[in-house]
């Protein structure tokens, strides 16, 4: 049976303005909906993880959008992210901490540093009779979603993670990574077994396209049914290119997951990852980053709409770490200009593939996909660059007044946004391991 959850996790970043967290929280009206805030019952949790997102992403996104993000007024605090063996975490260790409340080593999923299996907050919710779901724009076997339902010592073993997901009690699985579920003879990369067939035997309805997702009633999906949606062999396309595919948006996957899971009268626990914010950060691609934050916000809006109507759901928005060391303002300018990124229609990587052999068409390609007017110096930089994609991204970021300090993760603290009953319990400065502990408390899980 599917169940209803009452917690939604939102992660983002706001700029603090001198008030203490407690005074900010106290000064704001109670927006917990029917749950009436501080003491309301929590049946459902929507744990939303914008991978790689930090306070500077939040500020630049506000400029990009031209107004506050849906999560801004629900800022509750911030938290640290180090792993057990490094000051800077990877997504596996961060996801494990956010799922289990225990630090582990980078690269490890669902195990402590000694290799002992850890129970996740999603698994604890399932033991309490609740339904569960995982949604991501990466492969669904990628580090963050895997951390809530799998236990492996190497995050790269995505075939084993796929096996564990099929064998688990997760009810809704939506994302990319179909190759990890199919045998090599059917085009898969690694899988030895046809895990899609095993999933169907276990009661999953299997879908592969956006149209199928939008019309699941045509598949006779009933209350209590399971749903497996694998919409690409590998990860889904970046948001900038999603419309060119048959792949659904993160908002569409989130809405469908909620619609299926809410049929469970005991509640549900849903994890939603905006996976590719992180990948854009690794590429220092500010337009890709902002467009995927926008896609993530669309998913948060779907979660919030449900939470406000339901009154027993909490939405937690919390990134797992910062990626790229994005800055708000750069290159000596006192202006913020991220709004120019709204005109960008392609990733830097895609634009680089459109350059001819001698890169004589740099100006035409980049201007066509960005709406920016390049100087001759900028054109020459891209023509001479060892990595044309990265140089395109640098030029675009310069126009947007966005700087980058790394192509890896950083140790920056991460903002925490929470909406719904008992959201005040999240107020304060935390470690990432505190989040599942607080969720456990508000859900009254054993």
Residue 295: which of 257, 343, 370, 243 has the closest Cα? Answer: 243
Contact by Cβ (8 Å): 78, 435: no
The helix/strand/coil state of 62 is helix
Residue 299: which of 384, 365, 236 has the closest Cα? Answer: 236
DSSP calls for 260-321: HHTT-TT-EEEEEEETHHHHHHHTT-HHHHHHHHHHHHHHHHHHHHHHHHHSSEEEEEE-S-
Would residue 375 show up in a list of annotated catalytic residues for this protein?
Answer: no
Residue 39: which of 446, 311, 305 has the closest Cα? Answer: 311
d(CA 139, CA 231): 9
Residue from 11, 54, 83, 91 carrying the catalytic annotation = 91
Q: What is the DSSP letter of 206?
A: E
Instruction: Calculate the alpha carbon distances from 216 to 89, 209, 260, 388 in Å.
Output: 38, 11, 10, 42
d(CA 32, CA 424): 10
Please list, in sequence order, all residues whose beta carbon lies within 8 angstroms of the beta carbon of residue 177, skipping any fewer than 6 positions away.
138, 139, 140, 141, 142, 158, 162, 230, 232, 233, 234, 235
d(CA 47, CA 421): 14
The helix/strand/coil state of 75 is strand
Q: Which residues are catalytic?
A: 91
């Amino acid at each position: 049976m599917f169940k209803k959850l009452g917690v939604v996790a939102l992660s983002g970043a706001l700029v603090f303005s001198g008030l203490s967290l407690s005074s900010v929280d106290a000064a704001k009206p109670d927006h917990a909906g029917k749950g009436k805030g501080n003491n309301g019952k929590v049946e459902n949790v929507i744990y939303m993880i914008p991978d790689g997102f930090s306070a500077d992403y939040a500020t630049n996104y506000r400029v990009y959008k031209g107004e506050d993000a849906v999560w801004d007024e629900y800022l509750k605090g911030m938290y640290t992210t180090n792993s057990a063996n490094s000051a800077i975490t990877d997504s596996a260790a961060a996801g494990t901490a956010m799922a289990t409340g225990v630090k582990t080593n980078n690269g490890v999923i669902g195990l402590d540093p000694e290799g002992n299996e850890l129970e996740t907050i999603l698994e604890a919710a399932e033991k309490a009779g609740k339904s569960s779901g995982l949604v991501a724009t990466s492969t669904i076997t990628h580090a963050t979603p895997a951390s809530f339902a799998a236990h492996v010592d190497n995050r790269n073993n995505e075939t084993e993670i796929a096996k564990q997901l099929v064998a688990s009690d997760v009810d809704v699985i939506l994302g990319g990574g179909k190759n990890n579920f199919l045998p090599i003879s059917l085009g898969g990369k690694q899988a030895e077994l046809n895990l899609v067939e095993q999933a169907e035997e276990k009661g999953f309805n299997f879908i592969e396209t956006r149209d199928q997702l939008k019309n699941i009633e045509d598949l006779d999906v009933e209350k209590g049914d399971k749903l497996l949606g694998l919409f690409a062999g590998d990860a889904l396309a970046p948001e900038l290119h999603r419309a060119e595919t048959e792949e659904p948006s993160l908002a569409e996957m989130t809405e469908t997951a909620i619609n299926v899971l809410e049929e469970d009268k005991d509640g549900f626990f849903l994890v939603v990852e905006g996976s590719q914010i992180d990948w854009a950060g690794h590429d220092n691609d500010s337009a890709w980053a902002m467009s995927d934050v926008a896609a993530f916000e669309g998913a948060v809006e779907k979660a919030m709409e449900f939470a406000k109507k339901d009154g027993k759901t909490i939405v937690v928005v919390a990134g797992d770490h910062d990626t790229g060391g994005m800055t708000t303002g750069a290159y000596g300018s006192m202006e913020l200009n991220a709004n120019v990124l709204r005109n960008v229609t392609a990733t830097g990587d895609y634009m680089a593939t459109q350059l001819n052999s001698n890169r004589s068409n740099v100006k035409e390609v980049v201007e066509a996909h960005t709406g920016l007017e390049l100087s001759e110096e900028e054109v020459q930089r891209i023509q001479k660059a060892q990595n044309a994609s990265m140089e395109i991204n640098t030029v675009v970021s310069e126009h947007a007044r966005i700087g980058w300090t790394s192509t890896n993760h950083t140790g920056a603290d991460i903002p925490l946004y929470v909406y719904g009953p008992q959201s005040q319990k999240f107020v304060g400065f935390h470690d990432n391991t505190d989040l599942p502990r607080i969720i456990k408390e508000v859900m009254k899980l054993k």
